[in-house]
Amino acid sequence: MSRPADDPISELTAGGSGGFQITDTALADSVKQGMARVEQLLHHEVRSELDFATRTSLHLVDAGGKRFRPLFVLLAAQFGDPTTDEVIKSGAVVEMIHLATLYHDDVMDEATMRRGATSANARWDNSVAILTGDFLFAKGSQLIADLGAEAVRRMAVTFEALVTGQMRETEGVRDGEDAVDFYLKVIYEKTGSLIATAGRFGAWFSGADEATIESMERIGTLIGTGFQISDDIIDIASPSNESGKTPGTDLREGVKTLPMLYALADENCSPRLRDLLSRPLDTDAEVAEALELLRESRGLERTRGTLQEFADDARKELASLPDVPARDALSSLVDYVVARTW
């Protein structure tokens, strides 16, 4: 049975037994109602008196996506009152900020497609895509101002992490710096930081206690970073007909992800693989060869081990939370992050 791509619960549960499951009916209804409110607010807030700005902003909003970050806000909010206006506003804010980064990323990556639609930079041009991203940052900042000075301060710290993560990746690892530590720092800043803020905001604006707020922020960090690591594995290990993505994207772009770094750190790494990983790969034949060698290397095994460590740490944090249905849903989400790589 097909499911709408803009339904985050359906999309994440579409993977069958390995997917993310919300088994509690009341919780599922609460999250769906909250997501409907977030979606309505999101569409309202990205509008402008300048019609062109509205059209370019709605380009990615209407393209759908998992809406994972507001979903995480709403799950974190289940430890208090998930229906407050502040929870809904914070859910819309984190999605706006995420969308803004996508517009900028597509310019940097020279992407032509995003979420199954033509990217904004390809449909219009780079200037329009950059300005639309800036517009969404501005709109998100206006909305978060309603949540108070501390929320603005927290989001400013997250802004900084998002930018420094991209700058760090652009600069590259320095001589003498540990490549794995560097990479984990980058993916925390680029991905984990905003999901960590989503967890904090959801618990905070639901009225949860301070211990739960801090715990949800840590869980967001672990799940957010773990998601990127699982994407690294999928980019190498999963055939495109299973993952829905073209394998080897990072190889083509010359990006060294965790499985590649671990493979290179292995003294038994083949000279041919070292050569292939030293540069962007232009031909399908070289990409296929590199993928085969990586699948045979110890890099994937070590990366799965690192992903499992992040998942185990997240489960330890979950054990400290109140025993409510949302805790089981979050546990299922951790299981999904690991299971999606097999």
Q: How confident is the prediction along the chain (342 residues), in pLDDT tens digits per residue? A: 333 333 444 445 433 334 577 889 999 999 999 999 999 999 999 999 999 989 988 888 888 778 999 999 999 999 999 999 999 999 999 999 999 998 877 777 666 666 567 777 777 878 888 898 899 999 999 999 999 999 999 999 999 999 999 999 888 899 889 999 999 999 999 999 999 999 999 999 999 999 999 999 999 999 999 999 999 999 898 765 454 456 788 898 888 999 999 999 999 999 999 999 999 998 999 999 999 999 999 999 999 999 999 999 999 999 999 999 999 999 999 999 999 887
Q: Residue 111's CB: how many other CB atoms inside 10 A?
A: 16
Nearest to 304 by CA among 341, 334, 330: 341
CB 60 within 8 A of CB 102: yes
- How far does the chain reach from its first CA to its final CA, in angstroms? 22
Whole-model pTM above 0.85? Answer: yes
Which of 42, 38, 21, 144 is CA-nearest to residue 82? Answer: 38
Residues linked to residue 118 through DSSP beta bridges, in sequence order: 113
Q: How far apart are CA 201 and CA 72, in angstroms?
A: 10
Residue 113 main-chain phi, psi, to 5 deg: -135, 150
Is the CB of residue 54 less than 8 Å from the CB of residue 46?
A: yes
Long-range contacts of residues 288-291, Cβ cutoff 8 Å, at least 24 apart:
288/248, 290/248, 290/251, 291/236, 291/247, 291/248, 291/251
Tokens at 126, concatenated? 């780079």
Q: Provide the 8-state DSSP code for 158.
A: H
Domains of the chain (ranges; CATH) run 24-208 (1.10.600.10)
